[in-house]
Amino acid sequence: MPLSPSATRDLLARLNHQPKRFLGQNFLVDGNIVRKSLELAGVAAGDNVIEIGPGLGTLTSALLAAGAEVWAVEKDRQLHAHLTETLVPANPRLHLLEGDAVEFPLAGFDPAGRGPFKIVANLPYAIATPWLDAVLGGPLPAGLVLMLQQEAAQRYAAQPGSKSFSAISIFLQAAYELAPGHKVGSGCFYPKPDVESYLLNLVRRPAPFVFSPGAKILIRACFQQRRKQIGSLLRDKLPADQSAAWLARLTAAGLGPQARPEQIPVALWQEFPV
């Protein structure tokens, strides 16, 4: 069970630890949300599970109790030391790494020879997109259940035609289907964040698509000038023959050189000639 708000506050005081806003340190204090996270992810005994930012170990303890093998990465040195003293000695299935999740997106887990894996994490807002972008480079987890600020969850799930539709929406939705998630109120955390959160539930597609590094660079560049027409954007970014072929494909699909990046569906971006 997670600590109550008062118990969390007392533990932080004993550790002489002040929650750091820049690290997104809002600690989960609602047991129902912990259980919901594991339920959405379908965590079972023997699963390989990656956790980002275990903090005080609330979600970590629940994953271990479910029988999972857990790889976790914690950037905060003091919290890493606390978990090393309290959780690691009694839990040989916990592999704890001190470091930056963007540099270690799989928390030191090596998929080679270990089989499928899942990610269950309470993601700090500041690193959510760069971390997710790194994960989407592959190898891909079977599924992800991510606690996110609601704004980020909406951006990742945004559909073509929406102002929130972006490069990360494309990269994510090419590889994952959006399964039913769960709203999370600010009162489920200590200290309370200023925004609502959401458990985003992602299930890997039967044939996931992974964009090449070059395609991702160009697609991001297109969305940085999203008000421009795609024909104009590609003029200086692709050889004329490649650009013409892809624009012809857009025209056949009912779009064309006048379309703006946010209007182009994920399936057509997957045919981007890079």
Q: Mean of the pLDDT values across residues 26-41?
A: 95
Q: Which fold has domain 213-269?
A: Helicase, Ruva Protein; domain 3 (1.10.8)
Q: Encode pLDDT of 36-76 as tens digits.
A: 999 999 999 999 999 999 999 999 999 999 999 999 999 99
* Structural tokens at position 212: 């090449």
Q: Structural domain boundaries of the chain?
A: 5-204, 213-269
Residues forming a β-bridge with 145: 120, 201
> Does residue 23 carry a pLDDT above 80?
no
214 vs 79: CA distance, rounded Å: 37
Q: Encode pLDDT of 197-221 as tens digits.
A: 999 999 999 999 999 999 999 999 9
Residue 52, SS3 per DSSP: strand
> Does residue 157 carry a pLDDT above 80?
yes
What is the structure's pLDDT at 18? 85
Q: Encode pLDDT of 163-173 as tens digits.
A: 999 999 999 99
> Does residue 2 carry a pLDDT above 70?
no
Q: Mean of the pLDDT values across residues 179-188?
A: 96
8-14 contact pairs (CB < 8 A, 24+): 8/56, 8/190, 9/190, 11/56, 12/56
What is the structure's pLDDT at 87? 95
Whether the link from the prior residue into 19 is cis, omega within 30° of 0, is no
Q: Considering the chain, what is the average pLDDT of its residues?
A: 94
> Does residue 77 carry a pLDDT above 80?
yes
Q: Encode pLDDT of 8-21 as tens digits.
A: 888 989 989 888 87
Neighbours of 92 (CB within 10 A): 9
CATH number of the structural domain 5-204: 3.40.50.150
Tell me the whole-structure pTM to 2 decimals.
0.94
> Does residue 109 carry a pLDDT above 70?
yes
Greater confidence, 256 or 140? 140
